[in-house]
Amino acid sequence: MLNNKIEGLIAAPFTAFDQNGELNLDLIPTYYQSLKKNNVKGAFICGSTGEGVSLTFDEKVQVLKAWTALTKADPDFALIMFLGGTNVKECKQLAVISEQEGADAISFTSPYYFKPANVQQLAKCCQEIAASAPNTAFYYYHIPVLTGGNYNMIDLLEAVDDLVPTFKGIKYTHEDFMDFLSCLNYRNRKYDMLWGRDENMLSSLVLGTKGAVGSTYNYAAPLYNDLMAAYEQGNFEEANKLQQKSIDMIRLLGKYGGIATGKAYMKLVNLDCGEFRLPIANMSKENFELFKADVAALGFESFKSIN
């Protein structure tokens, strides 16, 4: 059971595929070591960045086992397994396997086809899934832009409080700072609130968050570690400058097609994770050359993750 609140960066790793679009599990040990070298405190696997919704059940299990083989004996690295959201029965099965394999925590998001009618129904889903892994910490994953689950998270905390004993906190990937702060302060800061918008990290630090989960920590962890350090030291001008650098970097994701651009960044830190699966569009070779020029103009070499 993950008992302490998470502090620092948790990367959301990309799932690596080979040239045929099949899992490339052989990259995971190198990937894990890269995160460790860059002072990343854990991994949130098979989530949005990890294309969990595009993986089969068996593939998710394979990815889980490849990571837990490395992390279950590492007390300084938290592994969070994202179970999914639409199929509650499958989430329960993955929860059982996650506990058996030694994951530190499991995570679940709102069902996004048949949606819960209200937050009480969502809490019932959390309760049933969490009960399948009674010795493993449980995090809810709030990302309404993708799920359509537009519930206030303070309402969810009130619904699960004392209902789900293993409920640890929320991975909060949304811009509602009022709701986030209310969750952070709920019952004397009982729950672990992990910020999930890399481009808004500084604002979350002001509110009091200590941990964050994000995709850009895979390839630019030094930037965010420096940002957090600058804030903690009271150097707000430096923190402001570093957050703007993050924003400039993230804007290139939109310029070059969205989430798949992250794997292009990974190539620039010598971790080739292949391409995204359909329906996501991948970058053309011509655009990759333009992308590299834009990235160089950002000064990426000065803050990219080392490998």
Residues tagged in the binding site annotation for pyruvate: 49, 213
* Catalytic hit among 32, 140, 141, 151: 141
171 labelled catalytic:
yes
User: Which amino acid is present at 215?
Assistant: S
Instruction: Judge contact between 176 and 10, C-beta under 8 A.
Output: no
C-alpha to C-alpha distance for 82 and 1, rounded to whole angstroms: 16
5 labelled catalytic:
no
Residues marked as binding?
A: 49, 213
Instruction: Judge contact between 89 and 111, C-beta under 8 A.
Output: no
Pairing of strands 8-11, 42-45: parallel
- 267 burial type by CB count under 10 A (0-12 exposed, 13-18 middle, 19+ buried): middle
C-alpha to C-alpha distance for 86 and 84, rounded to whole angstroms: 6
- 278 burial type by CB count under 10 A (0-12 exposed, 13-18 middle, 19+ buried): exposed
C-alpha to C-alpha distance for 128 and 2, rounded to whole angstroms: 19
Instruction: Judge contact between 98 and 90, C-beta under 8 A.
Output: no
Instruction: Judge contact between 168 and 192, C-beta under 8 A.
Output: yes
Structure tokens at 189: 């800061």
Catalytic positions, written as ranges? 141, 171
